[in-house]
Structure 1
Amino acid sequence: MTTATRPTGYAGTLALTALTPIVWGSTYAVTTEFLPPDRPLFTALMRALPAGLVLLALTRVLPRGIWLGRAAVLGVLNIGAFFPLLFLAAYRLPGGVAGVLGAVAPMIALGFAAVLLAEAPTRRKVIAGVIGVFGVALVVLRGNAELDTIGVVAGLAGAASMSAGTVLTKKWGRPDGVGPLAMTGWQLTAGGLFILPLALVLEGAPPALDGAAIGGYLYLGIIGTALAYWLWFRGISRVPATSVAFLGLLSPMSAAVIGWIALGQALTPLQIIGLVIALAGTVLGQLPPKPAPVVAEPFSPKEIDDVALVAPIEVAVLTAPEAVSVAEAARR
């Protein structure tokens, strides 16, 4: 989609969609400050299932036919698998390595878009992806960062899951008459139902919750999930999937800024440089490809003959008497 053909409000849609990863960046601060520790699956469940059920009650639209399967697949990719893998990587990878692995998502999305949407990755977007990963690495990595095999696999798998879900959401679109709010409810509910047995088996009964934890879960469920994913899926339906994927680079940047403002975490000059570089990668990922030059097709022999016949004819502006004379001469 070139600049000339983009609909009015495209920039506004991108700006609203960008609010989603910015809000997601607050998840780390809310989790560490308000929620019970060591309960990633329960936290993922509380983010997804209640919000999904509320949206189903509000929209009163359920998937039917082929969309029963599609909603389940999208719910698992975007929510059910992504949330647990995200938390697993965060718990096992200190020093921001999980954030760097998450920043690889736009590059993975380029691959999925090439296969599923026949969108060939442009050189500009590949460069933007590399710049984004490098910038995020400067923001979140520390010198004592350690690698954990399970954590690395979980981080990459989570990025791949979300990327595949984003591209498939674009490929499948929505059924006629179904809005993004209903689609959000379908996916959150499907993802929450996928997480529910995992949370019960692996973590047991829910923990006791105080007022701070309840407030934290309400924030994550309403703002960080229901509203954020509605904006996300709305954006996917209106702009290229790869452009939306590049907005995900804003999440680790948002987390760093929130940690600096709300938690008193210092930002080093290197991190500030990383923020600028990652932001440049995000912006570069939104730029449309250069329009292909228009190449004139060669004339066929028949067209050349036609041109030769009409070339000597000159068109002149005639006065009324001259026009009459020409018409009479033509009749003779």
Structure 2
Amino acid sequence: MEDTFRWSLVTAIAPIAWGTNYFVTHEYLPAGHPLYGAVFRALPAGLLLLALARRLPRGIWWWRSLLLGICNMGAFFALIYLASQLLPVSLASTIMSAAPFTMALFAWGLLAERPTAQVLIGATAGIAGVVLLLGAASTSVDVRGVAASAAALTMSSCGYVLAKKWGRATEGPLATTSWQLIAGGLVLIPCAVVVEGAPPHLDGPAVAGFAYVGLVATALAFTAWFAGLRRLPAASVGLIGLLNPVTGVLLGLLVSGEVLTLRQVGGLALVLLGITLSQVRVNPPARLARVRQLEVTE
């Protein structure tokens, strides 16, 4: 239980950092350049982690890194940016909050991790909490934005579960994360040149913003995320990811000087309850019986 709690705290670094990324991107990074923005986010962070890990891919890890880099980094970053431009934040975040369910389904199919009733109840409570926190979108819905969000959700959920499956090899999360970031960034470069032309001019605040996004919200966050995936069930990690919209809401309230409404307090409580439920381990009846039998014999 103590080990689970410790790795849950490590994993939580990722969604909390991602939640702050919304504010930094909106306030300091250049608008209208999602592909270059994704390249500037992924590539420097990947090169930094590679310098620390000092390990290049070998054998099958070349194509694995390419596939995971597209699913978890390159295409994911671009799709999320597109969705944020076409949809209200509340709707985009609500769609992405379904990650605990989609990750549980992929983990069931690829890892034979059958979701327990406890995890499913926690996921339902967590998603309901996100809906209460963010509220329903009152503007018209752009189908393209919904499609981009759904594609990002599906690709990342599959990619995360595959990373968990393949991460059982000797390569650690630092090395495999660096390979994915570099692959995702390199794939996006020709797309950015063709679609967006010359890279945007970066002023001082933009450089500082990209430094934060690259170091904290990408290098540190994804290393913590994949480390958690190696040690925790995929569905539980997906629920921890709900701290992402929670952080975004709380940071927005802090910056704007507003206070939490009663509805938002209830939503926050539901999210935390859902995450807690997913982390508590209940011993199966058979195991409990064996433990009690041993206690009696002793």
TM-score by length of 1: 0.82
Instruction: Quote the residue 2:209 is aligned against.
Output: 216
Counterparts of 2:167 and 2:67 in 1: how far apart (Å)? 13
| Equivalent residue letter for 1:150 | R
Instruction: Quote the residue 1:10 is aligned against.
Output: 4
For residue 111 of structure 1, the aligned residue among 105, 111, 114 is 105
Instruction: Quote the residue 1:81 is aligned against.
Output: 75
Instruction: Quote the residue 1:252 is aligned against.
Output: 245
CA contact (8 A) 1:246 1:286 kept: no
Q: What SS does the corresponding residue of 1:25 show, helix, strand or coil?
A: helix
Counterparts of 2:77 and 2:194 in 1: how far apart (Å)? 17
The structural deviation recorded for 1:219 is 0.2
| Equivalent residue letter for 1:183 | T
Q: Deviations over 1:236-289 (max 9, x none)?
A: 112222211111100000000111113435532212211111121122222235
| Equivalent residue letter for 1:15 | L
The structural deviation recorded for 1:295 is 11
**1:131 partnered with 2:125:** yes
Instruction: Quote the residue 2:85 is aligned against.
Output: 91
CA distance 1:276–1:146, change in 2 (3 Å)? farther
The structural deviation recorded for 1:141 is 2.6
Counterparts of 1:157 and 1:289 in 2: how far apart (Å)? 34
Map 1:152-167 to 2 at 5 A: 152-167=146-161
Map 1:51-62 to 2 at 5 A: 51-62=45-56
Counterparts of 1:130 and 1:155 in 2: how far apart (Å)? 19
Q: Identify which range, 39-48 or 216-225, moves more after superposition.
A: 39-48
The structural deviation recorded for 1:191 is 1.1
Instruction: Quote the residue 1:272 is aligned against.
Output: 265
Q: Identify which range, 69-78 or 284-293, moves more after superposition.
A: 284-293
For residue 39 of structure 2, the aligned residue among 34, 41, 45 is 45
CA distance 1:148–1:54, change in 2 (3 Å)? same
Instruction: Quote the residue 1:288 is aligned against.
Output: 281
For residue 206 of structure 1, the aligned residue among 176, 199, 205 is 199
**1:234 partnered with 2:227:** yes
**1:192 partnered with 2:177:** no
Q: What SS does the corresponding residue of 1:235 show, helix, strand or coil?
A: helix
CA distance 1:143–1:102, change in 2 (3 Å)? closer
Q: What SS does the corresponding residue of 2:187 show, helix, strand or coil?
A: helix
CA contact (8 A) 1:174 1:183 kept: no
**1:25 partnered with 2:19:** yes
CA contact (8 A) 2:132 2:264 kept: yes
Count of aligned residue pairs for this structure pair:
289
| Equivalent residue letter for 1:103 | S
CA contact (8 A) 2:71 2:155 kept: yes
4+ aligned runs moved over 3 Å, structure 1: 263-267
Counterparts of 1:36 and 1:10 in 2: how far apart (Å)? 39
CA contact (8 A) 2:35 2:196 kept: yes
| Equivalent residue letter for 1:45 | V
Query: Which structure ranks higher in relative contact order (CA pairs < 8 Å, sequence separation ≥ 6)?
Result: 2
Unaligned runs of at least 5 residues, structure 2: 290-298
| Equivalent residue letter for 1:144 | S
CA contact (8 A) 2:91 2:137 kept: no
Q: What SS does the corresponding residue of 1:26 show, helix, strand or coil?
A: helix
Counterparts of 2:243 and 2:63 in 1: how far apart (Å)? 31
Counterparts of 1:242 and 1:274 in 2: how far apart (Å)? 20
CA contact (8 A) 2:35 2:191 kept: yes
Q: Identify which range, 105-114 or 265-274, moves more after superposition.
A: 265-274
Q: What SS does the corresponding residue of 1:42 show, helix, strand or coil?
A: helix
TM-score by length of 2: 0.91
Unaligned runs of at least 5 residues, structure 1: 297-332
Q: What SS does the corresponding residue of 2:269 show, helix, strand or coil?
A: helix
CA contact (8 A) 2:30 2:206 kept: yes
Q: Deviations over 1:43-93 (max 9, x none)?
A: 211110111122223322110111111111111111112111111111111
Counterparts of 1:287 and 1:85 in 2: how far apart (Å)? 33
The structural deviation recorded for 1:95 is 4.6
| Equivalent residue letter for 2:99 | A
Which one has a bigger Cα radius of gyration?
1
Counterparts of 2:224 and 2:89 in 1: how far apart (Å)? 30
